[in-house]
Structure 1
Protein backbone atom coordinates (compact mmCIF):
# COMPACT_ATOMS: atom_id res chain seq x y z
CA UNK A 1 0.00 0.00 0.00
CA UNK A 2 2.96 2.35 0.57
CA UNK A 3 1.36 4.31 3.42
CA UNK A 4 3.60 5.20 6.33
CA UNK A 5 1.82 4.66 9.61
CA UNK A 6 2.77 6.46 12.82
CA UNK A 7 1.99 3.42 14.97
CA UNK A 8 0.17 0.10 14.97
CA UNK A 9 -2.83 1.61 16.79
CA UNK A 10 -5.90 1.05 14.58
CA UNK A 11 -7.26 4.54 15.30
CA UNK A 12 -3.95 6.21 14.52
CA UNK A 13 -3.58 4.13 11.35
CA UNK A 14 -7.09 5.00 10.15
CA UNK A 15 -6.36 8.68 10.81
CA UNK A 16 -3.16 8.41 8.76
CA UNK A 17 -5.44 7.59 5.81
CA UNK A 18 -8.68 9.45 6.60
CA UNK A 19 -7.67 12.11 9.11
CA UNK A 20 -7.18 15.19 6.96
CA UNK A 21 -9.96 17.73 6.53
CA UNK A 22 -10.89 16.72 2.95
CA UNK A 23 -10.83 12.93 2.54
CA UNK A 24 -14.08 12.08 4.33
CA UNK A 25 -15.82 14.97 2.57
CA UNK A 26 -14.94 13.45 -0.80
CA UNK A 27 -16.29 10.11 0.39
CA UNK A 28 -19.42 11.86 1.73
CA UNK A 29 -19.97 13.52 -1.63
CA UNK A 30 -19.77 10.19 -3.45
CA UNK A 31 -22.01 8.42 -0.93
CA UNK A 32 -24.70 11.04 -0.41
CA UNK A 33 -24.07 13.84 -2.90
CA UNK A 34 -24.16 11.75 -6.09
CA UNK A 35 -20.85 13.32 -7.08
CA UNK A 36 -18.35 11.43 -9.20
CA UNK A 37 -16.23 13.85 -11.25
CA UNK A 38 -13.46 16.27 -10.39
CA UNK A 39 -15.79 19.13 -11.34
CA UNK A 40 -18.52 17.75 -9.04
CA UNK A 41 -16.14 17.61 -6.07
CA UNK A 42 -14.80 21.10 -6.87
CA UNK A 43 -18.31 22.51 -6.57
CA UNK A 44 -18.80 21.29 -2.98
CA UNK A 45 -19.59 23.97 -0.44
CA UNK A 46 -16.29 23.52 1.39
CA UNK A 47 -14.35 24.89 -1.63
CA UNK A 48 -11.46 22.42 -1.83
CA UNK A 49 -8.49 23.71 -3.83
CA UNK A 50 -7.95 21.82 -7.09
CA UNK A 51 -4.41 20.71 -6.18
CA UNK A 52 -5.53 19.27 -2.85
CA UNK A 53 -8.51 17.59 -4.51
CA UNK A 54 -6.29 15.98 -7.15
CA UNK A 55 -3.94 14.78 -4.41
CA UNK A 56 -6.71 13.28 -2.27
CA UNK A 57 -8.39 11.55 -5.22
CA UNK A 58 -5.07 10.01 -6.27
CA UNK A 59 -4.35 8.94 -2.69
CA UNK A 60 -7.79 7.34 -2.28
CA UNK A 61 -7.38 5.51 -5.57
CA UNK A 62 -3.90 4.26 -4.62
CA UNK A 63 -5.25 3.03 -1.28
CA UNK A 64 -8.06 1.13 -3.02
CA UNK A 65 -10.84 3.24 -1.50
CA UNK A 66 -11.86 4.78 -4.83
CA UNK A 67 -11.89 3.42 -8.36
CA UNK A 68 -11.13 5.75 -11.25
CA UNK A 69 -12.92 5.05 -14.51
CA UNK A 70 -14.57 6.69 -17.51
CA UNK A 71 -18.19 7.47 -18.25
CA UNK A 72 -19.56 4.84 -20.66
CA UNK A 73 -21.09 7.46 -22.95
CA UNK A 74 -18.24 10.00 -22.65
CA UNK A 75 -14.82 8.35 -22.51
CA UNK A 76 -13.15 11.73 -21.87
CA UNK A 77 -14.78 12.26 -18.48
CA UNK A 78 -13.04 10.64 -15.52
CA UNK A 79 -15.38 9.40 -12.80
CA UNK A 80 -14.67 8.13 -9.32
CA UNK A 81 -16.63 5.48 -7.50
CA UNK A 82 -16.27 3.70 -4.19
CA UNK A 83 -14.64 0.31 -3.97
CA UNK A 84 -15.73 -2.27 -1.41
CA UNK A 85 -13.13 -0.79 0.95
CA UNK A 86 -14.70 2.65 0.43
CA UNK A 87 -18.25 1.37 0.94
CA UNK A 88 -17.14 -0.10 4.27
CA UNK A 89 -16.68 3.49 5.50
CA UNK A 90 -20.46 3.99 5.45
CA UNK A 91 -21.01 3.16 9.16
CA UNK A 92 -18.33 5.71 10.13
CA UNK A 93 -19.95 8.40 8.01
CA UNK A 94 -23.39 7.51 9.44
CA UNK A 95 -22.08 7.78 12.99
CA UNK A 96 -20.48 11.14 12.22
CA UNK A 97 -23.79 12.40 10.83
CA UNK A 98 -25.60 11.28 13.99
CA UNK A 99 -22.93 12.70 16.31
CA UNK A 100 -23.02 16.05 14.53
CA UNK A 101 -26.80 16.15 14.59
CA UNK A 102 -26.79 15.36 18.33
CA UNK A 103 -24.00 17.74 19.30
CA UNK A 104 -23.76 20.57 16.81
CA UNK A 105 -27.41 21.57 16.87
CA UNK A 106 -28.61 24.11 14.34
CA UNK A 107 -25.19 24.23 12.69
CA UNK A 108 -26.05 21.02 10.80
CA UNK A 109 -27.89 21.77 7.55
CA UNK A 110 -31.50 20.69 7.12
CA UNK A 111 -30.71 18.04 4.51
CA UNK A 112 -28.36 16.24 6.91
CA UNK A 113 -30.76 16.67 9.84
CA UNK A 114 -33.43 14.91 7.75
CA UNK A 115 -30.96 12.16 6.88
CA UNK A 116 -30.11 11.78 10.58
CA UNK A 117 -33.85 11.35 11.37
CA UNK A 118 -34.13 8.66 8.72
CA UNK A 119 -31.05 6.87 10.06
CA UNK A 120 -32.37 6.95 13.65
CA UNK A 121 -35.54 5.09 12.65
CA UNK A 122 -33.45 1.95 12.15
CA UNK A 123 -29.72 2.53 11.87
CA UNK A 124 -28.83 -1.07 11.08
CA UNK A 125 -31.43 -1.33 8.32
CA UNK A 126 -30.33 2.01 6.88
CA UNK A 127 -26.68 0.93 6.75
CA UNK A 128 -27.57 -2.45 5.23
CA UNK A 129 -29.91 -0.97 2.62
CA UNK A 130 -27.60 1.89 1.71
CA UNK A 131 -24.64 -0.49 1.48
CA UNK A 132 -26.68 -2.47 -1.07
CA UNK A 133 -27.43 0.76 -2.93
CA UNK A 134 -23.74 1.71 -3.05
CA UNK A 135 -22.76 -1.79 -4.21
CA UNK A 136 -25.30 -1.63 -7.03
CA UNK A 137 -23.85 1.72 -8.12
CA UNK A 138 -20.36 0.21 -8.01
CA UNK A 139 -21.50 -2.78 -10.10
CA UNK A 140 -23.10 -0.52 -12.71
CA UNK A 141 -19.75 1.07 -13.58
Structure 2
Protein backbone atom coordinates (compact mmCIF):
# COMPACT_ATOMS: atom_id res chain seq x y z
CA UNK A 1 0.00 0.00 0.00
CA UNK A 2 1.22 3.47 -0.92
CA UNK A 3 0.36 6.79 0.70
CA UNK A 4 -0.48 10.06 -1.01
CA UNK A 5 -1.50 13.59 -0.12
CA UNK A 6 -4.39 15.13 -2.06
CA UNK A 7 -5.37 18.78 -1.73
CA UNK A 8 -8.79 20.36 -2.01
CA UNK A 9 -10.22 23.67 -0.92
CA UNK A 10 -12.75 23.02 1.85
CA UNK A 11 -15.28 25.45 0.37
CA UNK A 12 -15.14 23.54 -2.95
CA UNK A 13 -14.96 19.97 -1.62
CA UNK A 14 -13.86 19.33 1.93
CA UNK A 15 -13.53 16.32 4.18
CA UNK A 16 -17.08 16.95 5.43
CA UNK A 17 -18.37 16.54 1.87
CA UNK A 18 -16.51 13.25 1.50
CA UNK A 19 -17.78 11.99 4.85
CA UNK A 20 -21.34 12.76 3.70
CA UNK A 21 -20.89 11.31 0.19
CA UNK A 22 -18.73 8.34 1.35
CA UNK A 23 -17.06 8.13 -2.12
CA UNK A 24 -16.24 10.60 -4.88
CA UNK A 25 -14.29 10.86 -8.09
CA UNK A 26 -11.25 13.15 -7.64
CA UNK A 27 -11.81 15.14 -10.82
CA UNK A 28 -10.45 18.36 -12.26
CA UNK A 29 -6.70 17.84 -11.77
CA UNK A 30 -4.94 19.59 -14.67
CA UNK A 31 -1.27 19.40 -13.81
CA UNK A 32 0.71 16.73 -15.66
CA UNK A 33 2.87 15.71 -12.70
CA UNK A 34 -0.19 15.43 -10.44
CA UNK A 35 -1.96 13.45 -13.20
CA UNK A 36 0.97 11.05 -13.36
CA UNK A 37 0.78 10.54 -9.61
CA UNK A 38 -2.97 9.83 -9.95
CA UNK A 39 -2.20 7.28 -12.68
CA UNK A 40 0.27 5.57 -10.29
CA UNK A 41 -2.32 5.03 -7.57
CA UNK A 42 -3.69 1.57 -6.92
CA UNK A 43 -6.84 0.29 -5.25
CA UNK A 44 -6.14 0.06 -1.53
CA UNK A 45 -3.68 2.95 -1.41
CA UNK A 46 -4.38 5.57 1.25
CA UNK A 47 -4.41 9.35 0.81
CA UNK A 48 -4.26 12.15 3.33
CA UNK A 49 -6.98 14.75 2.71
CA UNK A 50 -5.38 18.20 2.84
CA UNK A 51 -7.44 21.39 3.09
CA UNK A 52 -5.72 24.09 1.04
CA UNK A 53 -6.46 27.78 0.59
CA UNK A 54 -7.86 28.04 4.10
CA UNK A 55 -6.58 29.31 7.42
CA UNK A 56 -4.79 27.27 8.59
CA UNK A 57 -4.15 24.79 5.78
CA UNK A 58 -3.41 21.22 6.79
CA UNK A 59 -4.16 17.51 6.76
CA UNK A 60 -7.68 16.89 8.04
CA UNK A 61 -8.36 13.24 7.36
CA UNK A 62 -7.72 10.02 5.54
CA UNK A 63 -9.27 8.38 2.50
CA UNK A 64 -8.71 5.22 0.49
CA UNK A 65 -8.41 4.65 -3.24
CA UNK A 66 -11.30 2.40 -4.32
CA UNK A 67 -11.00 2.73 -8.13
CA UNK A 68 -7.91 3.51 -10.19
CA UNK A 69 -7.35 4.59 -13.80
CA UNK A 70 -10.76 6.31 -13.92
CA UNK A 71 -11.31 8.53 -16.96
CA UNK A 72 -11.93 12.05 -15.62
CA UNK A 73 -15.35 13.01 -17.04
CA UNK A 74 -14.78 16.73 -16.44
CA UNK A 75 -12.44 16.87 -19.45
CA UNK A 76 -15.45 16.38 -21.77
CA UNK A 77 -17.78 18.97 -20.19
CA UNK A 78 -17.87 21.82 -22.73
CA UNK A 79 -19.18 24.30 -20.15
CA UNK A 80 -16.95 23.18 -17.30
CA UNK A 81 -13.79 24.71 -15.89
CA UNK A 82 -11.79 21.56 -16.70
CA UNK A 83 -12.80 21.01 -20.33
CA UNK A 84 -9.92 19.86 -22.52
CA UNK A 85 -10.58 20.22 -26.26
CA UNK A 86 -7.68 17.86 -27.03
CA UNK A 87 -9.31 14.99 -25.11
CA UNK A 88 -11.71 12.56 -26.72
CA UNK A 89 -13.61 9.61 -25.27
CA UNK A 90 -11.39 7.28 -27.31
CA UNK A 91 -8.19 9.11 -26.33
CA UNK A 92 -8.68 10.79 -22.94
CA UNK A 93 -5.78 12.82 -21.59
CA UNK A 94 -6.85 12.93 -17.96
CA UNK A 95 -7.30 10.01 -15.58
CA UNK A 96 -8.07 10.06 -11.90
CA UNK A 97 -9.23 7.88 -9.03
CA UNK A 98 -12.29 7.32 -6.90
CA UNK A 99 -11.72 7.81 -3.19
CA UNK A 100 -13.63 6.61 -0.14
CA UNK A 101 -13.86 8.30 3.25
CA UNK A 102 -11.87 6.57 6.01
CA UNK A 103 -11.78 9.08 8.85
CA UNK A 104 -11.58 12.70 9.90
CA UNK A 105 -8.77 13.59 12.27
CA UNK A 106 -9.83 15.05 15.61
CA UNK A 107 -7.36 17.88 15.08
CA UNK A 108 -5.99 19.05 11.77
CA UNK A 109 -2.25 18.66 11.28
CA UNK A 110 -1.45 22.18 10.16
CA UNK A 111 1.07 23.15 7.54
CA UNK A 112 3.03 24.91 10.29
CA UNK A 113 3.25 21.65 12.25
CA UNK A 114 4.27 19.75 9.12
CA UNK A 115 7.02 22.30 8.44
CA UNK A 116 8.33 21.93 12.01
CA UNK A 117 8.39 18.16 11.74
CA UNK A 118 9.50 17.43 8.16
CA UNK A 119 11.98 18.73 5.62
CA UNK A 120 10.99 19.48 2.00
CA UNK A 121 12.92 16.35 0.97
CA UNK A 122 10.77 14.25 3.30
CA UNK A 123 7.40 15.83 2.53
CA UNK A 124 6.79 17.78 -0.68
CA UNK A 125 3.89 19.80 0.70
CA UNK A 126 6.26 21.77 2.96
CA UNK A 127 8.49 22.78 0.04
CA UNK A 128 8.30 26.53 -0.58
CA UNK A 129 6.34 27.26 -3.76
CA UNK A 130 5.03 23.70 -4.19
CA UNK A 131 1.57 23.93 -5.71
CA UNK A 132 1.01 20.28 -6.63
CA UNK A 133 -2.43 19.05 -5.64
CA UNK A 134 -1.42 15.38 -5.54
CA UNK A 135 1.87 14.00 -4.24
CA UNK A 136 3.36 10.78 -2.86
CA UNK A 137 4.15 10.34 0.83
CA UNK A 138 6.93 7.92 1.82
CA UNK A 139 5.74 5.15 4.14
CA UNK A 140 7.94 6.27 7.04
CA UNK A 141 6.56 9.81 6.80
CA UNK A 142 2.98 8.53 6.44
CA UNK A 143 3.46 6.51 9.63
CA UNK A 144 4.64 9.63 11.48
CA UNK A 145 1.67 11.64 10.17
CA UNK A 146 -0.71 8.93 11.36
CA UNK A 147 0.94 9.05 14.79
CA UNK A 148 0.48 12.84 14.86
CA UNK A 149 -3.20 12.31 14.02
CA UNK A 150 -3.62 9.96 16.98
TM-score range, shorter chain: under 0.3
Larger RCO (CA within 8 A; separation ≥ 6)? 2
Of Structure 1 and Structure 2, the greater strand share is in: 2
TM-score, length basis structure 1? 0.28
Return the TM-score normalized by structure 2. 0.27
Q: Greater helix percent: which structure?
A: 1
